[in-house]
Every structure is written in C-alpha cells, then in structure tokens.
Amino acid sequence: MSLQFEVESCAPSGGRRAQLSLPHGTVQTPVFMPVGTAATVKAVPQDVLEKIGPRVQGSGSSEPEGESVTDGSGAQIILANTYHLYLRPGHELIRRAGGVHRFMSWERPMLTDSGGFQVFSLAKLRKITPEGVEFRSHIDGSKHFFSPEHSMAVQIALGADIMMVFDECVETPASWERTRDSMGLTHAWAERSRAYWVEHRGEVPWAREGSGPRAQGPECGSASSGPWPLNAGPLSGKHQALFGIVQGGMYVDLRKESAERLVEMDFPGYAIGGLAVGEPREVTREMIARTLEWLPKDKPRYVMGVGYPDEIEEYARMGVDMMDCVLPTRAGRHGLLFVREDPADRRSAVVRLNIKKLDNAEDQGPIDAGCACSTCGRYSRAYLRHLFASGEPLGATLNSIHNLHFYLETMERVRGELAGGVEVKGEGEEGKSNSLDAEFGKFKRQVSRSKAGA
C-alpha cells in the first residue's frame, strides 16, 4: 500500500483525528505542512525542522534523557515544488541522487505539487493547449513544456510520498463559462495523470530496500556516507500516492461536479485547489465547506495554500486533514510574528507582532511568553529587532522557527481537542455565520457582474 488513512475520532463540526501512513512515516492529522519550495524550508535547517513544535501525540516519540523540553517532534511532513526543482537543479539530477529525500537529507514524508500553479502564475510567459502548457522559465527565459505525463514523470523522479495531478487554476474573479472550461481541462488532465502514475509508479527512485536519505550506492554503509543507515525503512515494493485536485472556482455547482468527477476516478486522496487566490476569506470558507460534503470520508482531504493560524484551525475543525502555506517563513523573513493575545492561554486570539517597530527596541521579553520554541526560550524582542534592522540572516531564521513552532503547536492542540471530542466555538458564532453568508452573496453578485460583461 502506498497510503493508508485511519480515522480515529470525529467531532460534530466535521473535524476528525486520523493517522496517515506513508512510505516514509506516519503523519498525525489534521496537519500543517511547511513549504520547502526548492528542497529547503527557507532559512530553517532540516535538523531544526525535526525538533520544532511540541511533542506529537501518537508519533511514538519519547523524551530522551537530557533533551531540552523545548525540543518537539518537528514537522511531520513538508512540501517541495515540482516547477522550481525541475528548473533548478533538474529532476534527473535529483533522481540520480536517489530522490528528493536523499538529496536534501530528509527522512520523513514529503509531498510535491504538480507545478501547475507556478506555471499558470506566469500569465505572460505561458500558452495553454489541451495537450499541456508551454512556458518560459522565470530564471533565464528558456522554453519548456509541461503535460500531465511530464508533470508525473518529474514528480516520480523527485520521489515524494504524495504527488499531485496536473491541473489548471483560473483567475479570480472568473466567469462561470471560463471556470467550467478550465475545470473540464483539469478533469481531462487528471485522467491522463492517473494513467501515467499507474503505469510508471514503480519507477520511483526509492522503490528498493534501503531508504536512508544518504543511501545512494554500494558505499552507503561506510562512515562517509552520512548519518542515515542503508536500511532506514522497508520501502521495497512501495510507491507514491496521487491526489486529485478539485477545481471549480467560486461556483458551488462546478465544485460539486468537479468533486464527483474526481471521486469517480478513485484517487488515494483529494485536494481542494484554486482557493486563497484573492477571494474574500468568507468565500474560501464557503467553498471548502461545500466541497467537503462531496469528498469521501475515508480518504485524506487537503486544502492547498492556506493560511493564517486562525484559518488553519478553523478549517481543521471543519474536516480538512492537510494544509500548507509559505506564510510562517515568509512572514518571519519580513519581521511579522504570530503570538497569543493571552500568552498563558494557547486558545486565545492570534495577534500579529511587527518586530520592526521601535517599541521592541528595548523590550527584553520573548516574542511570546507562553511559547516553548527555542527562539522564545533564548532571545529577546530587542535582539530580534536588532537582527532585522541590521539585515542579519539569523533574524530570518529565528523568526521562522518561532512562526513554524506556532503553527505546529496550534495543530497539535487541535488534534488533541478533536481526539477528546472537544468543540471550541468563538463568541457570536451564529452571527458570524450570518455575516459569512452575506459576504458570500456579495461576492457572487460581483462575479455575476463580471460574467455579464464577459
């Protein structure tokens, strides 16, 4: 089996606590996945990624004697980007290195996107046809072509545990007709992606015994071959899982059609794509809630590219199992940090702290007094502001570590509450729901006007 998904408990809100078993390990869900675009989570080394966050319940982790209590279980699964790795250093080079796990010395699960979103974001540098997408590299202007089959071939060479079908994203807002045509292309490409995956999935670089990230050749048992043993896990005979991607823009009827069509293709898991691309947050929430209605309850459900800490908590409680976003590290590099309004209450509201502000210049306290991350345990706001003002790279690293810990801590708390059947609702939830409905109606009217003018 390439993927096993076991739901352990469900909450009335739809949220569920589950385990996702993959070739490179077991992931406790719902989970937030840090984004490692170019085989690196920016500014954060892999050994640090393995220790941030709290200790994950059910992961089998124990507290080794003498280890700091701030050391957590770390990121359970991360992402890598197919488009960027295809352009640099090249998927064939990574295949020869034994796959992206070994290339970057990461022994835990990994997911690759299809490259579709990055290609389609190159609006002035690409041409879409039913066969695929011709585009020019943002690096050097060289011409390339991605078809569903080529995207699958690149992702198989990279060797992540989960790969995504090649899909098309539409702009926001887009007319119903434009969205319907794009969705049809996505479905055709999903069928072609699945057919290629079924035929070629045995070609994954690690489809043999010997799974350590450094286990690349006959000399792997030598002292110079790195820290990972030759037989770090039984990967022989296992392969990657392929997820379908539900599209349909901001139209409920198209989302329903897309979900049902992809479920017919019987993928191991399903993603909800085409969101967080400029639409109001209320619309994002509505599209997620409605799409979840039509996806299988016994398979993992992944919302791509979201979001702020309060958003990922909300979506997890709705029934989303997997989420990813560049925000924790990108915000950290720009001096934006996430803290709790009441440091002693880790369920209190999320507050955004701008470390660049002058009032932090002499603040000797931590970013968040209730946070157990290594940054908060050692460094002051004053020092972090100094690093940012001085342009010191260490500042980006320390800020990113804190933000990633904050995200992972949030999801571990949510997992614990879902496992215990705890329902947490904010004040005025009914009024909030009515407000969401009103905002969604307003957005649909804007789209209708766009459609009429198309």
Tokens of 125: 């540098």
Question: Which are the contacts of 179, defined by CB distance < 8 A and separation ≥ 6?
Answer: 170, 247, 248, 249, 250, 251, 254
What count of residues does the chain have? 454
Sign of CA dihedral 20, 25, 27, 28: positive
Strands of the sheet with 126-129, listed across from one edge: 126-129, 132-136, 143-146
Give, in degrees to the nearest 5, the angle at Cα 105 between 100 and 109: 65
Sign of CA dihedral 101, 338, 322, 88: negative
Q: Do 161 and 241 contact (CB within 8 A), yes or no?
A: yes
**Amino acid at residue number 34:** P
- Write out the DSSP string of 202-257: GG-TT-SS---TT--STTTTSGGG-SS-TTSS--TT---EEEEEE--TT-HHHHHH
Collapse the DSSP code of 35 into the 3-class scheme (helix H, G, I; strand E, B; otherwise coil) and give the result.
strand
Is 321 an annotated catalytic residue? Answer: no
CA distance 444 to 454: 15
What is the per-residue burial (b if ≥16 Cβ within 10 Å, else e) of 74-97?
Answer: bbbbbbbbbbbbbbeeebeebbeb
If phi > 0 it is left, if psi is from -120 to 50 it is alpha, else beta; for residue 39 that is: left
β partners of residue 128: 133
Is 437 an annotated catalytic residue? Answer: no
Q: Do 314 and 386 contact (CB within 8 A), yes or no?
A: no
Could you say which of 167, 321, 324, 368 is catalytic?
324
CA distance 43 to 230: 28
* 129 phi, psi to nearest 5 deg: -135, 170
Could you say which of 113, 167, 321, 368 is catalytic?
113
CA distances from 203 to 103, 157, 214, 239, 351 (A): 17, 8, 19, 8, 47
Catalytic residues: 113, 324
